[in-house]
A and B are shown apart, each in its own frame.
Chain A
């Protein structure tokens, strides 16, 4: 189960993720990121404070989203990872290809 929230902060679209991002829920997240980028909002922040689990399928969507933003001259960032998810992100080296911040405030400050 995953819930997605969306709000705009300055020129960044913040997607709040709650629950599990896995093979069953990742397509919804992928579609949402695509819709946002396709309408011209190419600076996207994934707020993962409520994300409890991320699988390989979820990580692939993070990468696909980051690539889509980059190809449109934007950027995708991640913030507020819980320890378990942070460990998965760091073990797989995703933090070396996607900017990760400890808090939403830090991410928005970096984006401005």
Chain B
């Protein structure tokens, strides 16, 4: 079964080129950190409220990196909120991404190709060889956003992550996104971890905008 980290990475990849869509590194970090926390929350290992993130059960879930992060949270002596943990875990984004990609390759969903460019530099691409998993995620997203049905919490979580890194445009046209924006906004509020991921990304974007405005003057 795919984790939220796996699912959001599949959406972040350009299926044909096998390269990542243009997503700011800090944004990808926060989204992957949020996905790890969602995996732990849905496995009943952690719980959250607006002021703290709590460990319910230290039993590993069988994903090495998730389990190491769970151990770190459990070993922490201070009470920290979800946003603080998202910021801490985002520093491990590269490892989270690489571990998930390796699993997706091992499961025959992606293939790993190394290519050289400018004769010297190497880049790794991950073209999709079995699109069923990604299609299923996209179907779940469209099913929720194009209806008034009460959503499944798992679908809420993946929509939060996808909207936070602005990749719903891979599923819908710009016009459609504009039309369903009220529904997206309704859904993305329903998951606290997702809300904190979006909040952290917005703060960074505002800081960048402010810095750019300052530089102009």
**A residues touching B (Cβ–Cβ < 8 Å)?**
22-24, 27, 53, 55-57, 59-60, 63-64, 66-67, 70, 88, 91-94, 96-98
Contacts and interface: CB of A to CB of B under 8 A. Distances in A.
A102 B57 CA distance: 35
Interface string B130-167: 00000000000000000001111100100000000000
Interface stretch (B47-55, B112-120, B172-180): B47-55
A63 B150 contact: yes
B195 A63 contact: no
A97 B39 CA distance: 23
B50 A91 contact: yes
B48 A56 contact: yes
* Top 8 A-B pairs, shortest CB-CB distance: A23-B47, A93-B189, A67-B150, A23-B56, A60-B153, A56-B48, A56-B192, A66-B150
12 contacts: A56-B48, A56-B191, A57-B41, A59-B192, A63-B150, A63-B151, A67-B150, A67-B152, A88-B49, A92-B189, A96-B186, A97-B186
B173 to A, nearest CB: 25
| Size bracket of the B interface | 20 to 34
Nearest to B188: A93
A92 B190 contact: yes
B150 A98 contact: yes
Contacts of A91: 50, 189
B44 interface: yes
B46 interface: yes
B149 A70 contact: yes
Contact of A55 (B48, B151, B156): B48
B50 A88 contact: yes
Contact of A64 (B47, B153, B186): B153
Contacts of B56: 23-24, 57
Given A23-B44, A56-B192, A97 B151 contact: yes
A93 B195 CA distance: 11
